[in-house]
Amino acid sequence: MIKQPKTERTVRTLLTTEFRVATADDGTRTLSGLIPYNSPSCDLGGFTELLAPGVFAGALKAGADVLCLRDHIPANLLGRTKSKTLALTDSPEGLRFVCKLPKNSQGSDLAESVDRGDLDANSFGFSTIEDKWLCDAAGNVVRTLIAVDLYEISPCSFPAYQSSEVSIRSLASCPVEIRAKMKQRDAEQCSCDCAECAGGDCGLCSDADCDEEYCSCAESRSIRNADANRVMNIRLAFTD
């Protein structure tokens, strides 16, 4: 387990599988959802990721200020904990959030997007404070986020899959011995002939058109894991 200085801001995107839109008699709409614990992510470049229960504890402390944005755009502010228009609650299942949508075009457009089925993903932006890396006998690497600094929750029009650059930043806290095993595994499986893959570091694959089945580059991962990306889900709902 490694406790480290906060890393650069990272974004994780989760696809929705269930949502509904409801409107109160006075026209007020509330966006609520769950960021689940212990739910495996898609392949993030040779490793998967889990959120440990309590990982967002810092966001629940007095004085914390977490935003709810649309598509990560600060101008599209839907709510924030500082003004009590966004409420966060910890639960055994995950971090629950409830955002009272503004009665303006942004709130109406968001509700319309969900109602039409155009909105199918939600992201959260954070910096890592503490994490843990494990590698099983089969070579599968799992990173568990123990504590993070949560900046925002952001319903998105489409999922933004992780890039190699993001994965590389995440690997900064990975123990040397686990990174060595990941490189060895990639080198044994990948047949991409770019310099990076040949050197055993497929996460840095420089072939933009790479479609090797076992290469862990971002482009290849998005093809191989189109269905796996739906493993880690977040539920969005509009409630009274």
Q: Determine the average pLDDT of the residues in 76-81.
A: 94
Q: How far is CA 97 from CA 4, 75, 106, 224, 235, in A?
A: 27, 20, 18, 31, 10
Give the single-character DSSP code of 54.
T
Provide the pLDDT confidence category of residue 123 given band limits of 50, 70 and 90: confident
What percent of the chain is modeled with pLDDT above 70?
A: 68
183-239 pLDDT per residue, tens? 766 666 666 777 777 666 666 677 777 766 556 554 444 434 443 443 344 444 445
Which residues, 6+ apart, have CB-to-CB distance to 129 below 8 Å?
3, 4, 6, 58, 146, 147, 148, 149
Sheet harboring 235-239: ordered strands across? Answer: 86-90, 94-100, 30-36, 235-239
